C-alpha cells in the first residue's frame, strides 16, 4: 500500500470491512464485494447530490498501483534500515488513531528508541510555517522546552521553521519528541535535518505511514497532517500565513474534536495572519505560553496552569476608607484634614485616623501646607500600566480594580475586569 | 455636583427619581425622602447580605461637598472658557448614555465644534496603555486613520500612548474625534497634549462630566472610563498590561453589552498581555485591522469588511484530474505518461490530455527522460507559506486547500480550513 491509497476513504473502508488481504485480492481481481459497492453508492448518494463515485476508475487506479507495490521488499528494506512496522492491535499502536475511522492508517513505520503509544499519551502537536519568522521559531522552541520539561511530548512534522524549532526545544529539555514524516522513515527530508532526525531517533521516534523509499509529494504532506493532529491531545499553531499547511492540520484537529490553540503575534506580520484568523473565528483558543497550552489539554486538577495575574501593590492591602483618604490627598502643595475629609467623603474622625496610618506607613507626609503624597516612594512599585489611571506625578499611580463607584453598586464582579 | 457624586449610584438614583434640584434640597436639609431610604435599604439588603448602606454618612458627605460646590460659578467659568453644558433632553445629548441607568452623568461639559450626539452615532472607543510600545502607538494610529477614513468617530481618553495616537490618527484622516477627560474641559491634562486638544476642539469635541476647574483623580479616571465605553458602539483594546485602566473600560463595555475587541501582539510583550487575556477568556473578539473592527460594530450589509483570504494561485483554476497529474509529475529527472498515470490514479487517456494542457499552459516540459515540472516558473507565484507543504525544489509549492483525500469524503467543508 502507498500513502495515497491509505488516504482514500473508500479503500480505507474496504480494508476495515474485509481486511487488507481480502481488499488487495478484490482489487487484484478488479472486483469489489457487491454489498460494499451498494453501500458505497448509497453513502455517496446521501453525501452529494446523488453523484455516485466512479468505483471502477478507483479499482483500476488501485490495481495499477498494486502492480507497482512490493510489500515483501518494503518489509526487508524497512527492517534493514532499522525501522519497525506497527499495525492496529500491536502493543505500540496509538489507539487514538482509530478515531480517524476510514482514514486510519493501515500501519505505521517507526524508527527510534521511544515507544510511540506511550510517548503520545501526553502529547501536543506544535505546528506552523516552514518560512517562520525569528519570532515564530523563538516561540516554537519555547513551547518545545516548556512542554518537554512538563512531561509532554511534542509531535510535529520535522520541517524547517516552526516544526524543527519545536523538536529541538523538546530535545533540549531532554524529552522525547515525535517526527511524523510525509516520506519513508529512511528518507531524510528536508536533507538538512539529518542531524536533528538522528537525535530524534535517539531520544524519540520518527513516524511515517509510507513504506521505506517513498518520497514526499503534495498529497502525502496533506495526508500526513491528519496523523499529527490525531496523535496529539491538542494542536497549537505557532505561526501560519493565511494559506498554510498548518491550517490544514488545525482543520483536522477540529474535525477530530481535539483542542486547537493559536499563538498570537504582531498584526503587522503576515506569518501570524492565519493564527489571528483562527482566533477571530473562535476556532482556536489564544495561548501565550506552554503552561497555558498544558492548561488547555491537561487533566483538570493535574496540569492546571496558574492564572496570569496583575502584580499586587501595597495599596491593595489598605482598607476602603484609608484608600479613599489616600486618593483624596493632593500630589502637589498640600491639604488640611478638613478638605481631605470633604474630598474623601468621610467624617473628620475617620479621616484623621486614616491620615495617621498612612503617615506611619510612609505613604504621605506632613508639610507646612498640610498633607501631601510622598515623592519617590521606593517601597511603592508602579504597576506595568500605571499611567493609564493617574496623573504621573503621583507615586500612587498603579491602575487598580477599585470600582468607579462603591463596590456594592459596581455593575459587575471583579471577574469582569479581566485580570482575575 | 462633582464627578465623585455623579459616580455614586445612590446619588444618581436620588437625582433620577426626584430631579437634581429636589435632590440637592434634600441633601441641604440633611434629609432623604423616607420612601427613597426604604427603597435603598431594601435594594442594599437584596444586594449584599442584609448590610444596609450608611445613608446618613452619605448625606453628610454630599452635604459637605455641596457646601463647597458653586454651580453658578461653574457655569460662568465654563461659558467663559468656551465650553457648553448639555443635559439629558438637550438635542446634543447622546441617548446611549441613558443605558448607564443610575450611573448616567447629570450633564456633560463639551468644548469643540463637533456635535457630540451626531459624532457618536458611528463611534468606536480605541483604548490602551499610556505606557504603550511603538507597536501599540503604531496600531492605534492605524486604527484612528482607518476608522476616520471610513466615517467612524474615534472616542478615547486623550492620554499619552494609545489614546493620543488614536486621536492623532483620526485627525490625520480629517475626521472628528472625541476626547473624554477626567478633569474639567478647561484643564489640559496631560499638559503636553495642549496642541492635540486644540486640534480636537477644532475638528471634534472635548467632553467631561466634571465642571471646569476640576483636576483629575484616580476615582475620576475610573468614572470617566464608563463614559468612553457607553458613548461608543464598541471598544477595542490596542495594548494593555494585565493591570490596566483599559481593562476597566473593557469591563464597562461588556457590562453594557457593547462589542469588545482586542488587538493581539507579540506574546513576548507584557503590554499585550491584557489583550491576550481578554482573547483567551473569549471576552473580546480578535481584530487585526480597522476594517475588522468596523465589521464587528457595523451594520450588516452596510459596513461589512472583506474577509481576509489566502492569495489565489494559478493552480486553483485547474480541474481535479489535471491537478492530480500535475502533482504526480516529478521535480527532478522525468517520468513517462504511463508511470504518471499510475501515480495520479488516472487512466492513460485522461493523463495524456492533461499533460497536453499542462505543457501548453507552461507548467511542465518534455525532456529526453520524459515529463518534468518547469523550473523558475515566473508565471507561478508562491503562496506566503509555500514551504509547509511541498519539497522546495518544486515551483508548484504553495500550500493548498486540496483535501488530503477526495473532496466528497473530506471530513468537513472548506470552511473548517480556516482560510475561507
By CB atoms closer than 10 A (0-12, 13-18, 19+), residue A302 is exposed
Pick the most confident of A97-101, B197-201, B221-225, B394-398. Answer: B197-201
Q: Identify all chain A residues contacting B264, using CB atoms and an 8 Å cutoff.
A: 264-267, 272, 276, 279, 286
A4-16 exposure pattern, b = at least 16 Cβ within 10 A, e = fewer:
bbbbbbbbbbbbb
Please answer whether residues A154 and A200 qualify as being in contact, where contact means their C-beta atoms are separated by less than 8 angstroms.
Answer: no
Chain B nearest-CA distance from A93, in A, is 22
Q: Identify all chain B residues contacting A65, using CB atoms and an 8 Å cutoff.
A: 342, 345
**Rounded mean pLDDT, B79-100:** 94
SS (H, E, C) chain B: CCHHHHCCHHHHHHHHHHHHHHHHHHHHCCCCCHHHHHHHHHHHHHHCCCCCCCHHHHHHHHHHHHHHCCHHHHHHHHHHCCCEEECCCCCCCCHHHHHHHHHCCCCEEEEECCCHHHHCCCEEEEECCCCCCHHHHHHHHHHHHHHHHCCCEEEECCCCCHHHHHHHHHHHCCCCEEEECCCCCCCCCCHHHHHHHHHHHHHCEEEECCCCCCCCCHHHHHHHHHHHHHHCCEEEECCCCCCCHHHHHHHHHHHCCCEEEECCCCCCCHHHHHHHHHHHCCCCEECCCHHHHHHHHCCCCCCCCCCCCCCCCHHHHCCHHHHHHHHHCCCCCCECHHHHHHHHCCCHHHHHHHHHHHHHHCCEEEECCEEEECCCCCCCCCCCCHHHHCCCCCCCCCCCCCCCCCHHHCCCCHHHHCCC
Please answer whether residues B252 and B143 qualify as being in contact, where contact means their C-beta atoms are separated by less than 8 angstroms.
Answer: no
What is the pLDDT at residue B165? 98
Q: Which chain B residue has the Cα nearest residue A46? A: B408
Q: Supply the angle between the helices A34-47 and A9-28 in degrees, to the nearest 10.
A: 150
Q: Which residue has the higher pLDDT, B414 or A133?
A: A133
Evaluate the omega torsion of the peptide bond into residue B190 and state whether it is cis, within 30 degrees of 0: yes
What is the pLDDT at residue B307? 61
Please answer whether residues B235 and B287 qualify as being in contact, where contact means their C-beta atoms are separated by less than 8 angstroms.
Answer: no
Please answer whether residues B159 and B127 qualify as being in contact, where contact means their C-beta atoms are separated by less than 8 angstroms.
Answer: no
C-alpha cell at A377: 516612594
**Rounded mean pLDDT, B352-367:** 86
**A128-132, B63-67, B221-225: least confident range:** B63-67
**Rounded mean pLDDT, B303-331:** 74
Q: Which residue has the higher pLDDT, A149 or A66?
A: A149
Describe the strand order of the beta sheet including B108-112 as a list of residue ranges.
B84-86, B108-112, B205-208, B177-180, B153-156, B123-127, B234-237, B259-262, B285-286
Q: Identify all chain B residues contacting A159, using CB atoms and an 8 Å cutoff.
A: 387-388
Indicate the pLDDT class of residue B309, thresholds 50, 70 and 90. Answer: low
State how far the Cα of B265 lies from the Cα of A139, in Å rounded to an integer: 13
By CB atoms closer than 10 A (0-12, 13-18, 19+), residue B93 is middle
Indicate the pLDDT class of residue B357, thresholds 50, 70 and 90. Answer: confident
What is the pLDDT at residue B394? 34
Q: Which residue has the higher pLDDT, B331 or B161?
A: B161
What is the pLDDT at residue B23? 85
B273-308 exposure pattern, b = at least 16 Cβ within 10 A, e = fewer:
bbbbbbbbeebbbbbbbbbbbbbbbbeeeebebeeb
Chain B nearest-CA distance from A98, in A, is 15
Please answer whether residues A227 and B397 qualify as being in contact, where contact means their C-beta atoms are separated by less than 8 angstroms.
Answer: no
What is the pLDDT at residue A96? 97
What is the pLDDT at residue A3? 40
What is the pLDDT at residue B327? 83
pTM for this model (two decimals): 0.79
What is the pLDDT at residue B139? 98
Indicate the pLDDT class of residue B301, thresholds 50, 70 and 90. Answer: low
Q: Identify all chain A residues contacting B403, using CB atoms and an 8 Å cutoff.
A: 222
Q: Which chain A residue has the Cα nearest residue B278? A: A418
Q: Identify all chain A residues contacting B138, using CB atoms and an 8 Å cutoff.
A: 268
Q: Supply the angle between the helices B320-328 and B348-361 in degrees, to the nearest 10.
A: 80
Please judge whether B308 and A400 are an interchain contact, meaning their C-beta atoms are less than 8 angstroms apart. no
Evaluate the omega torsion of the peptide bond into residue A190 and state whether it is cis, within 30 degrees of 0: yes
Annotation: CATH topology of B314-373:
Arc Repressor Mutant, subunit A (1.10.10)
Q: pLDDT per residue over A356-401, tens digit each?
A: 888 888 888 888 888 888 865 433 333 334 333 333 333 333 333 3
**Rounded mean pLDDT, B43-61:** 78
Statement: residue A312 has pLDDT above 70 = no
Please judge whether B268 and A135 are an interchain contact, meaning their C-beta atoms are less than 8 angstroms apart. yes
Extents of the domains making up chain A: 1-69, 71-297, 314-373
Contacts of B50 (CB under 8 A, 6+ apart): none
Mutate to test the interface with B, among A404, A414, A419 (most CBs of B within 10 A): A404
State how far the Cα of B44 lies from the Cα of A43, in Å rounded to an integer: 63
Residue A39 zone, left/alpha/beta (φ > 0; ψ -120 to 50; rest):
alpha
Indicate the pLDDT class of residue B130, thresholds 50, 70 and 90. Answer: very high
What is the pLDDT at residue A69? 82
Q: How far is CA B26 from CA A79, A160, B38, B97, in A?
A: 95, 75, 15, 26
What is the pLDDT at residue B383? 37
Statement: residue A175 has pLDDT above 90 = yes
Q: Identify all chain A residues contacting B248, using CB atoms and an 8 Å cutoff.
A: 389, 399, 401, 404, 417
Please judge whether B243 and A387 are an interchain contact, meaning their C-beta atoms are less than 8 angstroms apart. no
Please judge whether A60 and B347 are an interchain contact, meaning their C-beta atoms are less than 8 angstroms apart. yes
Task: Give B38-42's long-range contacts (Cβ < 8 A, gap of 24+).
Answer: B40/B10, B40/B13
Q: How big is chain A by its Cα radius of gyration, in Å?
A: 31
**Rounded mean pLDDT, B302-312:** 62
Please answer whether residues A343 and A380 qualify as being in contact, where contact means their C-beta atoms are separated by less than 8 angstroms.
Answer: no
State how far the Cα of B36 lies from the Cα of B263, in Å rounded to an integer: 45
Mutate to test the interface with A, among B46, B282, B388, B409 (most CBs of A within 10 A): B388
**Rounded mean pLDDT, A34-58:** 81
ipTM of predicted assembly, 2 dp: 0.78
Q: Which residues pair with A178 in a beta bridge?
A: A155, A205
What is the pLDDT at residue A393? 34
C-alpha cell at B93: 445629548
C-alpha cell at B251: 469591563
Q: Which residue has the higher pLDDT, B43 or A410?
A: B43
Please judge whether A342 and B4 are an interchain contact, meaning their C-beta atoms are less than 8 angstroms apart. no
Chain A nearest-CA distance from B341, in A, is 8
Contacts of A35 (CB under 8 A, 6+ apart): none
C-alpha cell at B106: 447629570
**Rounded mean pLDDT, A11-17:** 83
What is the pLDDT at residue B231? 98
Phi, psi for residue B48 in degrees, rounded to 5: -145, 100
**A117-126, B281-290, B306-315: least confident range:** B306-315
Percentage of chain A modeled with pLDDT above 70:
84
- Out of B243, B267, B310, closest to residue A242 by CB: B310
What is the pLDDT at residue B313? 66
State how far the Cα of B361 lies from the Cα of A295, in Å rounded to an integer: 51
Statement: residue B207 has pLDDT above 60 = yes
What is the pLDDT at residue B312? 64
CATH code reported for the domain at B71-297: 3.40.50.450
What is the pLDDT at residue B333? 75
Chain B nearest-CA distance from A414, in A, is 9
Indicate the pLDDT class of residue B310, thresholds 50, 70 and 90. Answer: low
C-alpha cell at B281: 477568556
Indicate the pLDDT class of residue B232, thresholds 50, 70 and 90. Answer: very high
Pick the most confident of A264-278, A332-346, B55-69, B99-113. Answer: A264-278
What is the pLDDT at residue B71? 85
Contacts of A142 (CB under 8 A, 6+ apart): A169, A289, A290
Phi, psi for residue B125 in degrees, rounded to 5: -85, 120
Mutate to test the interface with B, among A309, A389, A411 (most CBs of B within 10 A): A389
Q: pLDDT per residue over B3-29, tens digit each?
A: 444 457 788 888 888 888 888 888 888
Q: Which residue has the higher pLDDT, B96 or B336?
A: B96
Please judge whether A247 and B402 are an interchain contact, meaning their C-beta atoms are less than 8 angstroms apart. no
Q: pLDDT per residue over B240-267, tens digit each?
A: 999 899 999 999 999 999 999 999 999 9
Q: pLDDT per residue over A218-266, tens digit each?
A: 888 989 999 999 999 999 999 999 989 999 999 999 999 999 999 999 9
What is the pLDDT at residue A23? 85
**Rounded mean pLDDT, A130-151:** 97
- Out of B311, B342, B418, closest to residue A278 by CB: B418
- Out of A58, A255, A273, closest to residue B412 by CB: A255
Contacts of A43 (CB under 8 A, 6+ apart): none
What is the pLDDT at residue B64? 85
Amino acid at each position: 500500500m502507498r500513502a495515497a491509497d491509505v488516504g482514500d476513504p473508500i479503500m480505507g473502508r474496504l480494508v476495515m470491512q474485509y481486511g487488507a488481504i481480502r481488499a488487495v485480492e478484490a482489487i487484484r481481481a478488479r472486483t469489489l464485494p457487491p454489498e460494499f459497492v451498494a453501500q458505497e453508492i448509497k453513502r455517496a448518494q446521501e453525501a452529494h447530490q446523488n453523484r455516485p463515485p466512479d468505483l471502477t476508475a478507483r479499482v483500476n487506479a488501485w490495481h495499477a498501483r498494486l502492480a507497482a507495490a512490493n510489500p515483501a521488499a518494503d518489509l526487508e528494506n524497512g527492517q534493514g534500515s532499522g525501522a519497525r512496522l506497527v499495525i492496529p492491535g500491536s502493543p505500540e499502536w496509538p489507539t487514538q488513531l482509530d478515531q480517524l475511522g476510514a482514514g486510519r492508517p493501515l500501519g505505521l513505520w517507526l524508527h527510534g528508541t521511544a515507544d510511540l503509544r506511550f510517548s503520545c499519551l501526553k502529547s501536543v502537536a506544535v505546528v506552523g510555517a516552514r518560512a517562520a519568522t525569528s519570532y515564530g521559531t523563538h516561540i516554537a522552541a519555547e513551547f518545545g522546552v516548556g512542554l518537554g520539561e512538563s512531561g509532554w511530548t511534542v509531535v510535529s512534522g520535522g520541517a524547517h521553521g516552526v516544526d524543527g524549532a519545536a523538536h529541538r526545544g523538546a530535545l533540549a529539555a531532554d524529552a522525547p519528541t515525535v517526527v511524523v514524516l510525509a516520506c519513508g522513515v529512511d528518507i531524510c527530508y528536508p536533507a538538512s535535518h539529518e542531524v536533528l532526525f538522528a537525535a530524534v531517533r535517539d531520544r524519540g521516534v520518527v513516524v511515517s505511514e509510507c513504506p521505506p523509499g517513498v518520497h514526499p509529494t503534495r498529497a502525502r504532506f496533506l495526508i500526513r497532517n491528519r496523523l499529527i493532529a490525531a496523535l496529539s491531545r491538542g494542536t497549537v499553531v505557532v505561526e501560519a500565513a493565511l494559506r498554510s499547511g498548518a491550517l490544514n492540520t488545525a482543520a483536522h484537529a477540529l474535525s477530530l474534536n481535539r483542542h486547537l490553540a493559536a499563538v498570537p503575534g504582531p498584526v503587522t506580520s503576515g506569518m501570524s495572519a492565519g493564527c489571528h484568523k483562527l482566533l477571530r473565528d473562535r476556532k482556536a483558543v489564544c495561548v501565550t505560553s506552554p503552561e497555558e497550552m498544558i492548561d488547555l489539554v491537561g487533566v483538570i486538577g493535574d496540569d492546571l496552569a496558574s492564572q496570569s495575574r496583575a502584580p499586587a501593590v501595597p495599596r491593595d492591602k489598605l482598607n476602603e476608607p484609608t484608600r479613599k483618604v489616600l486618593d483624596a490627598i493632593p500630589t502637589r502643595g498640600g491639604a488640611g484634614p478638613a478638605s481631605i475629609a470633604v474630598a474623601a467623603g468621610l467624617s473628620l474622625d475617620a479621616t484623621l485616623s486614616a491620615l495617621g496610618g498612612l503617615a506611619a506607613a510612609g505613604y504621605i507626609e506632613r508639610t507646612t501646607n498640610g498633607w501631601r503624597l510622598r515623592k519617590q516612594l521606593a517601597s511603592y512599585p508602579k504597576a506595568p500600566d500605571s499611567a493609564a489611571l493617574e496623573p504621573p506625578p503621583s507615586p500612587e499611580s498603579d491602575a487598580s480594580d477599585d470600582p468607579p463607584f462603591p463596590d456594592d453598586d459596581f455593575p459587575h464582579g471583579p471577574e469582569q475586569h479581566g485580570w482575575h
